[in-house]
Amino acid sequence: MASSLSSRSILNASKSRAAWARSSRFSTTATKNSALKERLAQLIPQQLERVKAVRAEHGAKSFGEVKVDQLYGGMRGLPALIWDGSVLDADEGIRFRGKTIPECQELLPKAPGGSEPLPEGLFWLLLTGEVPTQEQVAELSKDWAARAAIPSFVEELLDRCPPTLHPMSQFSLAVTALNHDSAFAKAYQDGISKKEYWGPTFEDSMDLIAKLPNIAGRIYRNVFGQGKLPAIDPSKDYSHNLATLLGFGDNEGFVELMRLYITIHSDHEGGNVSAHTGKLVGSALSDPFLAFGASLNGLAGPLHGLANQEVLLWLRKMQNKIGENASDEAVKEYVWSTLKGGQVVPGYGHAVLRKTDPRYTAQREFALKHLPDDPMFKLVGQIYNLVPGILLEAGKAKNPWPNVDAHSGVLLTYYGLTQMQFYTVLFGVSRAFGVAAQLIWDRALGAPLERPKSYSTAAIEKIFANK
């Protein structure tokens, strides 16, 4: 009785959802059989065979020992996940499907007149391992523009948020609410076969990425009072549209920055907080909106994506305290006072990297080209010359070098996007690319529910009592 009641209420809910969708102005007009989806459909059987072969040959082999310290120490270095889009080397930094950032900058298609890679191409690369053609990338831009509208209830939800609610909380709320129209959730309720999971996951992922500029733009304009949101232009690329929705579409430098920014922040292998959270939540067959909403809540932490906001706050506080054009001695003293106050120097250190983050270097090169004389850029350079030495002297941080977040805020500030509380939203727009690509593959390869084993301290004491 209870189960028939609950299935009736699920049925009613899905009927009213369908009625709502018909009545709302939301509709997906995108190409359903895109070239990207067709290419994936060709690649999936090959990858299934490849994984089967790897497991048959190596499945029973050990990957090394696990130390008790790793359980207490945030699982550093623990081999625990499969993530195909990118791999992080401690010294060299990230490679997207085997390609470094400079290689991606060289090989991926560009906008006419532009010199930074289009993130559409990066998404294609993350998903297929292949560099797309200009035409394939242009089709993706059009597809995303066609899917960009957000349901009116999500617009209302955002419009009702108090401007004091952090932009990342608003972002996560809106992305989670997109689950209302999830193709995967609907297909699951309709009894889709496991073998078909990847199809609606692909559609949801494409919708997710496509709708992020409208969500980000609406949050920005609501919170910072920047006027009415313009429409998406189907003839423009994703980054150009994002820039337009934020009010910077006429600034070609900012548009180029968005292309670079979204490309380099997209993916950082699978163990970082936002990527792993998305994969974990997706493993329960929560749809991509629920999974990526969870990713965003992780990205919103100050030790992860929020560090780009923290860097700017820290720089501003420094300037208030010691003035602009401060001497090296004054900057050093300020850095030491941060450490002595028991705080971290934001933008420095990393859980895996042991050298300067190549994403930092890519942004520095962008700055050298577009804003070489900017005083904040010069301050970032001054800090780069001083902080690693101080962190080494302090003796705790395993990596004294800057990460991606040490540089991004200064570039945004230069172009007039000065509201630092918004910075992590842009990181989130980009991170959707990497998380979505892996969610699609996880469903295509039948990745199981994640459920590692945990231990209590008492259990560890007992295990090693007589050893």
Ligand X SMILES: CC(=O)SCCNC(=O)CCNC(=O)[C@H](O)C(C)(C)COP(=O)(O)OP(=O)(O)OC[C@H]1O[C@@H](n2cnc3c(N)ncnc32)[C@H](O)[C@@H]1OP(=O)(O)O
Residues making contact with ligand X (CB under 6 A): 303-305, 307, 339, 344-351, 396-399, 403-405
Closest to ligand OAA by CB, 232 vs 397, is 397
* Tokens of residue 362, six digits: 């890519």
Catalytic residue among 166, 268, 276, 304: 304
86 binds ligand OAA (CB under 6 A): no
Burial label for 216, CB within 10 Å (0-12, 13-18, 19+), is buried
Q: State the nearest-atom distance from the C-beta of 215 to ligand OAA, in Å.
A: 21
Kindly list the distances between the CA atom of residue 435 and the CA atoms of 151, 211, 251, 257, in Å, as whole numbers in the listed order.
Answer: 22, 15, 29, 22
Residue nearer to ligand OAA on the CB measure, 158 or 353: 353
Which is the catalytic residue, given 350, 357, 407, 442? 350
Smallest distance, Å, CB 265 to ligand X? 8
Q: Is 287 assigned a catalytic role?
A: no
User: Catalytic site residue 304?
Assistant: yes
How far, in Å, CA of 434 to CA of 101, rounded? 15
Considering the complex, what minimum distance in angstroms separates the CB of residue 114 from ligand X?
Answer: 25
Question: First-to-last CA distance in the chain?
Answer: 54
Q: With CB cut-offs between 5 and 8 Å by kind, which of ligand X, ligand OAA, none does residue 321 bind?
A: none
**Does 175 help bind ligand OAA (rule: CB under 6 A)?**
no
Give the shortest CB-165-to-ligand OAA separation in angstroms.
Answer: 24
Report if residue 272 touches ligand OAA, rule: CB under 6 A.
Answer: yes
- Tell me: does residue 403 bind ligand OAA (CB under 6 A): yes
As measured in angstroms, the least distance from the Cβ of 406 to ligand OAA is 11
Measured distance CA(303)–CA(162) in Å, rounded: 25
d(CA 161, CA 448): 36
Please pick, from the candidates 142, 166, 211, 268, the single residue that binds ligand OAA as defined by CB under 6 A.
Answer: 268
Spatial distance between the Cα atoms of 242 and 422, rounded to a whole number of angstroms: 14
Nearer to ligand OAA (CB atom), residue 93 or residue 117: 93
What would the two tokens of residue 2 be? Answer: 């209870």
Q: How remote is the C-alpha of 425 from its chain's centroid? A: 9
Q: Phi and psi dihedrals of 402, rounded to 5? A: -75, 150
CA distance 370 to 185: 45
Q: Rounded to whole angstroms, how far apart are CA atoms 275 and 433?
A: 10
Contact positions with ligand OAA (CB under 6 A) in 321-380: 351-352
Q: Which residue in 267, 357, 405, 442 is the catalytic one? A: 405
Report how far apart, in Å, the C-alpha atoms of 181 and of each of 20, 122, 206, 226 are: 10, 26, 13, 29
Min dist CB 339 to ligand X, Å, is: 6
The verdict on whether 350 is a catalytic residue reads: yes
Nearer to ligand X, 179 or 408 (CB): 408
User: 456-460 contacts: CB < 8 A, separation 24 or more?
Assistant: 460/68, 460/71
Residue with smallest beta-carbon separation from ligand OAA: 272
For residues 21 and 352, which CB has a smaller minimum distance to ligand X in the complex?
352
Nearer to ligand OAA, 223 or 300 (CB): 300
Q: Would you count residue 34 as binding ligand OAA (CB under 6 A)?
A: no
CB 426 to ligand X: min, Å = 12
Which phi-psi region, left, alpha or beta, contains residue 349 (left: φ > 0; alpha: ψ -120 to 50)? left
Residue 55 site contact among ligand X, ligand OAA, none (CB < 5 to 8 Å, cut-off depends on kind): none
* Nearest alpha carbon to residue 391 among 338, 428, 440, 430: 338
Q: CB-wise, 207 or 405, nearer to ligand OAA?
A: 405
The DSSP output letter for 230 is P
Binding partner at 407 among ligand X, ligand OAA, none, C-beta below 5 to 8 Å by kind = none
For 165, phi then psi, to 5°, come to: -75, 130
Catalytic center residues = 304, 350, 405
- Residues lying near ligand OAA in the complex (CB under 6 A) are found at 268, 272, 351-352, 403-404
